[in-house]
């Protein structure tokens, strides 16, 4: 009898211990900030914590035994759960980024019996990396390629154009009397003009034309697959759009024009020599009265 009572006591104690462990585990899962999802070896849903439900609201509609892949909004990056780590975005406009760590649950005989998926948000890290990457190749003010990255991309464009026997043109654009804008309205107004200029050029050229900020108020372009007349007309459209544009800054209307130098890339050219020729043509355009397009080697301010 005493032995039976002792065994019963031990059984109750063990039952209580297991119950305490279960309750404690559930309570811990409810309070951790990481999303927790438990699935069986066949990727069927077993349980999750509130943090996981916030990340994947579609899980709320799952019953135990339903495929986790049937949850609405389940990311494609988590369609295969054999890997250790997966990163994925959620949302279109206000995109959030997450990292999932997938751990197997093994029986004593090492057979897979379940998987634990832990999800944590990494949005701040992803955004920081994007900012660092952008800083490496984009001009902070205009959002255009900086001079260093433009040079790298231009080399690729040149190699491709030469390989496919396409024409190449370098163009240099400079704002006329830009110093006067800074002196009259201040450098913040000058920054606004530079941003507007970048937008005008970007909207005027083709999507695959290469554009960068060369420095100060100078912009550089690399144009391919046009003949000389077409390339000149494209530069003229930029010049005209700049001439008719007004930058509004603190209730002031600022108008400014630009001068452009255009040079064809020849078989003896390099990127440096072609840009230098465009810069020389730009110098002629400015000396000839500004607000015009000058083709390198042409005796007249405008190419006909």
The CATH number of the domain holding residue 65 is: 3.30.450.20
pLDDT in tens, 223-252: 999 999 999 999 999 999 999 999 999 989
H helix or E strand, kind and range, residue 115: strand 112-121
Instruction: Give yes or no: residues 78 and 143 share one domain.
Output: no
**Residues sharing a CB contact under 8 Å with residue 128, sequence separation 6 or more, in sequence order:** none
pLDDT for residue 129 = 80
Within this chain, do residues 101 and 165 fall inside the same structural domain, yes or no? no
In a domain, 216, yes or no: yes
Same domain assignment for residues 154 and 105: no
Same domain for 51 and 87: yes
Does residue 98 lie within any of the structural domains?
yes
State the pLDDT at residue 273. Answer: 96
Q: Provide the pLDDT for residue 78.
A: 86
User: Could you tell me if 242 and 145 lie in one domain?
Assistant: yes
pTM of the model: 0.63
Length in residues, the chain? 304
**pLDDT tens string 95-137:** 899 999 999 999 888 899 999 999 999 998 888 887 777 677 8
φ/ψ bin of 216: left (φ > 0), alpha (ψ from -120 to 50), beta (otherwise): left
Where do the DSSP E strands lie in 156-284? 168-175, 210-215, 218-224, 246-249, 252-255, 258-264
Residue 1 forms part of a structural domain: no
pLDDT, residue 222, reads 97
Q: Is 9 part of a structural domain of the chain?
A: no
H/E stretch holding 85 reads strand 85-90
pLDDT of residue 80: 77
Out of 217, 229, 243, 280, which one is annotated catalytic? 217
The confidence score (pLDDT) of residue 267 equals 87
Domain stops at, among 98, 128, 158: 128
- Which residue range forms the structural domain that includes residue 222? 138-295
**Residue 5: predicted pLDDT:** 46
- Tell me the C-alpha distance between 71 and 68, whole Å: 6
Contact partners, residue 302, CB within 8 Å, separation at least 6:
232, 292, 293, 294
Q: Are 206 and 100 found together in one domain?
A: no
Instruction: Note the pLDDT of residue 30.
Output: 59
Instruction: Tell whether 56 and 185 lie within a shared domain.
Output: no
- Domain membership of residue 287 (yes or no) is yes
pLDDT < 50 regions, the chain: 1-2, 4-6, 8-10, 12-13, 17-21, 23-24, 302-304
Domain boundary among 128, 149, 178: 128
Q: Is 243 a catalytic residue?
A: no
Q: Considering 76, 109, 128, which residue would you say is the last residue of a domain?
A: 128
Residues 194 and 223 in one domain: yes
Residue 86 near residue 101 (C-beta atoms within 8 A): no
Total domain count for the chain?
A: 2
The whole-number pLDDT of residue 18 equals 42
């Amino acid at each position: 009898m005493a032995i039976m009572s002792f065994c019963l006591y031990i059984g109750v104690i063990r039952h209580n211990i297991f119950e305490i462990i279960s309750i404690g585990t559930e309570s811990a899962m409810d309070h951790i900030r990481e999303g927790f999802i438990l699935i069986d070896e066949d990727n069927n849903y077993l349980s999750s914590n509130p943090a996981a439900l916030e990340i994947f609201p579609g899980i709320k509609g799952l019953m135990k035994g339903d495929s986790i892949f049937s949850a609405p909004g389940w990311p494609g990056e988590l369609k295969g759960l054999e890997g250790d780590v997966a990163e994925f975005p959620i949302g279109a406009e206000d995109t959030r980024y997450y990292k999932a760590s997938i751990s197997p649950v093994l029986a004593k005989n090492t057979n897979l019996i379940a998987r634990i998926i832990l999800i944590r948000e990494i949005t701040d890290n992803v955004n920081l990396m994007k900012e660092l990457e952008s800083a490496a190749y984009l001009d902070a003010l205009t959002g255009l390629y900086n001079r260093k990255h433009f040079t790298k991309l231009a080399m690729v464009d040149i190699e491709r154009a030469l390989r496919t026997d396409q024409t190449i043109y370098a163009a240099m654009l400079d704002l006329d009397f830009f110093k006067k804008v800074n002196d009259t309205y201040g450098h913040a107004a000058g920054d606004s003009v530079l941003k507007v200029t970048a937008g005008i050029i970007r909207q005027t050229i083709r999507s695959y034309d290469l554009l960068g900020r060369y420095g100060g108020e100078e912009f550089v372009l690399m144009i391919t697959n046009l003949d000389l007349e077409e390339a000149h007309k494209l530069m003229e459209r930029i010049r005209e759009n700049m001439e008719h544009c007004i930058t509004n800054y603190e209730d002031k209307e600022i108008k400014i024009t630009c001068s452009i130098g255009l040079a064809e890339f020849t078989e003896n050219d390099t990127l440096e020599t072609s840009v230098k020729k465009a810069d020389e043509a730009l110098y002629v355009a400015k000396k000839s009265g500004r607000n015009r397009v000058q083709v390198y080697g042409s005796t007249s301010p405008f190419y006909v």
